[in-house]
Structure 1
Amino acid sequence: MPTQDERSAASRQALVEATLTLLDEVGYGRLAVAEICRLAGRSVGTHLHHFGTKAALVAAAVDELAARRIADARADLARQPRRGTAAALDVVWQFYAGPTFVAALELWVEARTNPDLRAHLLVVEERIDREGVALAATIAPELASPGGLVAGRYVAATMRGLAMRRLLWPDADIDAEWRATRPFLLASLEGAR
């Protein structure tokens, strides 16, 4: 029989999972605590006990999302070890090409007018950036130079913009656009060493 701590952790996780599912399906603006609780099979009282507010629950979901993004990148590298600037570029692109980017974007937009969520997102995104730099440095140590870090910020901004295009143009071939853009980004990184 599960302990109280195990039941509590299971309830928290169920609410976080339901939040992530609904965030992906309906976006932050239409995200409702009652619907999260229904999907999680938990009561609103359980939500209040563990999180207290919608913002606190979403913040926990952001943490989970960040942990998944980082774990996915590490697992991909473990399966297919790669080296060099081009490999680092491809690993970072996976942060933006995957489905978690859209959920993260929803939260960034909401954070513009939600100071509590913004404060939490800044911490989470800083952690993701640190992890991304650490991953890139293991693949391409030359990118850890001051010039590489500056170029990396500009390259990441371009990648985010490309990934955001699929929201307005869902029929666009983002993979083809990535293949066309990748050589320019690679040249930027290699020129910054």
Structure 2
Amino acid sequence: MESWIKASPAYGYHDPRDDSAARPSLALTQLRRSFFGPSGENDGCMAAADRALGSEKPPAKGIESARTIDVTSFKESQTSADVRKAFSEWSACMSSKGYKYTSPLESAGVKWFATASATASEKRVARADVSCKNQVDLVDRWYKAESSIQQPMIERHAEELKELMIFQDELVKRARHILEKP
């Protein structure tokens, strides 16, 4: 399931790893320059790492297959009868807590991201969201629906996905080898 629809009582819908993204510090700006290079066109240490690892040319078909499976199954899962029912149950639960949302995607909408960190209101909605998701077992039901859509897609694209897996495995081996050097 898409990671951006997660809610946290402590962070609302904001990513707890990046609470400062809306107001980058000087150190963060300098870090980005190091990472992407002075031009911002990926001529910094990230490009050097890609060259050292041989990761500049990943298997495009495998990446496209994985991306298609991810996006398609996410969209299609929302039309599943059980997911629609779970959304309806979740919506009723949210309504009982004073919030009018038809789906968790709506509650996690972009309005929360206008601020650098979670507001008190956002945290209240996120707490209700998490509580209602748990109450109706929404995450597990959605996962099962999405997985059942993904399985035949994975089988149809097995060859491209295998190439991607081999590429990723080799990338990890090369990274470990580089890190083990004195």
Same fold (TM over 0.5): no
TM-score normalised by length of structure 1: 0.24
Structure with the greater relative contact order (CA < 8 A, sep ≥ 6): 1 or 2?
A: 2
TM-score normalised by length of structure 2: 0.25
Q: Which has the higher helix share?
A: 1
**Higher Cα Rg, which structure:** 2
